[in-house]
Structure 1
């Protein structure tokens, strides 16, 4: 009995221990959960404050994109005259300076054209000299013909005097006709002399008219002859100037057989070989101006609200990494997005239209000094960050 009672009394004590430990564990879990939740809430608040502070203090002061590439205004080397290539002085990737020899064409045809143009010029100058001489000769001839007019006038006066004498003689003899004082032969002779005098007067008058007409014609010929050279030096005459222009064109074609670099840069896409015949439309090579490159950065449309021309830009290249930072400025914006100028523009007027954020190319001018120190190449990937607080216009 005592053992049973003792067992009964001890059993509750043994059964009460597990319940007590479970309650204490639940109390401990609740006490740990609350600090964890509070810590998590604090972390979320701190992260929100950090993000808000970054957006207000840093994120809103700049915009950036890695959709940017190096570009440049390449110079296409196109011969301005045709001929066979006899020399190519450069190869791809070779740096060149402005005025450096790139290639040379066979100039035999151009030299012949220059010689022919020089001969034509000399002939035109000689014709001009001859025209002036003809004008002077025509003037002398006109003067001589004008001098013949007084002589013809003198002959007319002499003929008129002879006519008056012959008329007087005839009238005197005619008045004595029938009186026997003048024979019929004398009267006939006087009549013939009168007719001859009258003919001489007519002839003298015709001679005077002819002399005057000849003088007028000679003077007109002189005017026409001098018109082509009047008031003009030899190199101002139209025919001579035309010949000089043809000579200058021939010399220009000859000079164009030697092709030189128009800008500083690097040779790319050389396609000509020695012996090849080229024409005015042949692109022989391309010169890339490595010191005048720029960056086309394609920013999202919702990034450009505060971007202005003239704002400062920091640009890094995948080629050099973040250790090399280029400094530039915004110089302009494209006239449309890339999608607007695509070969097949997007057709947004459809039932399954999905809005896509568009990108607008922004032109960034780089510092030439930094380009010389760390040269770039067309097409390299870049990352551009525009400082929105740097002003601009």
Structure 2
């Protein structure tokens, strides 16, 4: 039994020694980690509240219609100008034919009015000539009247003959007055037709604008990619009604690059500034390091841009450390960033100034 006890005691001593050694190594490791963390804390400002960002643009419909074709799939890469969705254009084509017919009718009406104005102008010219002739005849009758009046005073003509001449003078005067009124009437008709022509021209402009709007609707019935990028989830179905201004999908814009938005605590921003270098680690690629430059600071804390900003004046005040979004532009080339996606979590270290 003593030999067995000695074996157990020897084993226990070995286990205790191993335990001490493991604990010693763990303790030394913790000390080293603590020292390195303290050094890093002194040398760097660090945050793990950071994400990769890209511009995600909504694609809006600029026309009403039913979806006829869908040319893209979920997460498909597209180029600027690629057709994404085609709306049914049959109704718009019918409206275009009606608009073209209305425009033709308005243009024909304008030609009729212009012809009427030319006719009215001709009538006015004729009336003016008739006035001139009537005035000449009136002048002749006035001279005739004066001559016969003198003859009557000398008893050279009879009273009846003089009265005939006097009647002819009054007829000539009435004829001149009638011609003047006819001339004024023709001028009024010309002015009326000219006003109708202006209305017809405005109507033609309106019909042309309506036709141009229909042409735009036909053009907008083909919805294209506004930029190079990747499409998001497809939410449309063939036959679905799309309204003007409706969002039909989203595209992640490749042309404007990628960046990091790192949310630093307000106690950290005193040590960092625009233009400072930053080291970035993406959680999805822990063995790869990226580099960037601070591009800008948010003009306000993130909470101030929330839907309901906190109001400390309400009396329910609890002091909470605020965070400032800091935009960091990548310095790496596009090939190194090709696998990064918007929304990926990141960790950022910035040397203290």
TM-score range with shorter-chain normalisation?
0.7 to 0.9
Q: Is the 8 A contact 2:291 2:332 kept in 1?
A: no
Residue 197 of structure 1 is aligned with which of 165, 183, 190?
Answer: 165
Report how far residue 74 of structure 1 moved.
1.4
Local SS of the residue matching 2:270? coil
TM-score by length of structure 2 reads: 0.77
- 2:345 is the counterpart of 1:381: yes
Local SS of the residue matching 1:329? strand
Q: Is the 8 A contact 1:290 1:371 kept in 2?
A: no
Q: Paired residue for 1:296?
A: 261
Aligned pair count?
320
Report the CA distance shift for 1:222/1:367 in structure 2 as closer, same or farther (over 3 A): farther
The 5-angstrom pairing of residues 82-93 of structure 1 reads 82-93=64-75
Output the CA distance in 2 between the equivalents of 1:338 and 1:220.
72
Q: Paired residue for 1:280?
A: 244
Report how far residue 381 of structure 1 moved.
0.5
Output the CA distance in 2 between the equivalents of 1:372 and 1:130.
72
Q: Is the 8 A contact 2:117 2:193 kept in 1?
A: yes
CA root-mean-square deviation:
3.5
Output the CA distance in 1 between the equivalents of 2:315 and 2:108.
82
Report the CA distance shift for 1:53/1:376 in structure 2 as closer, same or farther (over 3 A): closer
Report the CA distance shift for 1:344/1:223 in structure 2 as closer, same or farther (over 3 A): closer
Report the CA distance shift for 1:80/1:149 in structure 2 as closer, same or farther (over 3 A): same
Output the CA distance in 1 between the equivalents of 2:314 and 2:161.
122
Q: Paired residue for 2:83?
A: 101
Q: Paired residue for 1:115?
A: 97
- 2:142 is the counterpart of 1:160: yes
Report how far residue 123 of structure 1 moved.
3.0
Q: Is the 8 A contact 1:83 1:107 kept in 2?
A: yes
Out of 87-96 and 335-344, give the one that drifted further: 335-344
Q: Is the 8 A contact 1:290 1:376 kept in 2?
A: no
Report the CA distance shift for 1:368/1:147 in structure 2 as closer, same or farther (over 3 A): farther
Local SS of the residue matching 1:322? strand
Local SS of the residue matching 1:302? coil
Report how far residue 205 of structure 1 moved.
0.6
Output the CA distance in 2 between the equivalents of 1:318 and 1:381.
6
Report how far residue 349 of structure 1 moved.
6.8
Report the CA distance shift for 1:341/1:159 in structure 2 as closer, same or farther (over 3 A): closer
Output the CA distance in 1 between the equivalents of 2:78 and 2:259.
19
Larger Rg: 1
Q: Deviation per CA, 1:203-226, whole angstroms, max 9, x where unpaired?
A: 101111222333344345445544
Residue 180 of structure 2 is aligned with which of 212, 223, 227?
Answer: 212
Q: Paired residue for 2:20?
A: none
Local SS of the residue matching 2:138? helix
Local SS of the residue matching 2:73? coil
Report the CA distance shift for 1:95/1:367 in structure 2 as closer, same or farther (over 3 A): farther
Q: Deviation per CA, 1:206-252, whole angstroms, max 9, x where unpaired?
A: 1112223333443454455446779xxx9xx5433332222111111
Report the CA distance shift for 1:353/1:156 in structure 2 as closer, same or farther (over 3 A): closer
Q: Paired residue for 1:255?
A: 219
Q: Is the 8 A contact 1:145 1:211 kept in 2?
A: yes
Structure 1 unaligned spans of 5+: 1-42, 176-186
Report how far residue 363 of structure 1 moved.
1.9
Out of 254-263 and 332-341, give the one that drifted further: 332-341
Q: Paired residue for 2:6?
A: none
Structure 2 unaligned spans of 5+: 1-27
Report the CA distance shift for 1:294/1:371 in structure 2 as closer, same or farther (over 3 A): farther
Q: Paired residue for 1:127?
A: 109
TM-score by length of structure 1 reads: 0.70
The 5-angstrom pairing of residues 44-59 of structure 1 reads 54=39, 59=42
Would you tell me which structure has more strand in proportion to its own residues?
Answer: 2
Report how far residue 201 of structure 1 moved.
0.7
Q: Paired residue for 1:72?
A: 54
Q: Is the 8 A contact 1:319 1:380 kept in 2?
A: yes
